[in-house]
Amino acid sequence: MYNAKSDAWSKSLDLAHKILNPSTYNCSLCNLTHGNFSEKEVWKNFREYSETDFVFMYKDVFVKKYPDYNDKDFPIILEMDNGKKPVILFDAQKLTSIASVEELIEILQKKI
């Protein structure tokens, strides 16, 4: 789940923030997986050719569907357990420590 909201105004502000002051942009998952305007090619290829189904949600959409996660720090990466409940794989702190999309992919390949 990205640390961003889904409305057009928030998306526009995020884009401007990411371009004008990327060092203070607050979504480490976005920074890893996306450039300024689109998904990074290496991430896109990993996601498309993986046997795992990935679902990406904006924070506001996710907490509306799963209100128990409203108090969590975002971004986070989750997987669904057998009972179809989201379980945190990587919290915001762990995502901040990942240096590159290649490192993220390597770690995910070991986990999934």
Helices and strands, counts by H and E, the chain: 6, 2
Alpha-carbon span 36 to 19, nearest angstrom: 6
What proportions of the chain, in percent to the nearest 5, are helix, strand and coil? 50, 10, 40
End-to-end CA distance of the chain: 17
Q: What is the pLDDT of residue 59?
A: 85
pLDDT per position as a tens digit, 6-50: 566 665 555 555 555 556 666 788 788 887 778 899 999 999 999
Contacts 24+ apart (CB under 8 A), 35-40: 40/101
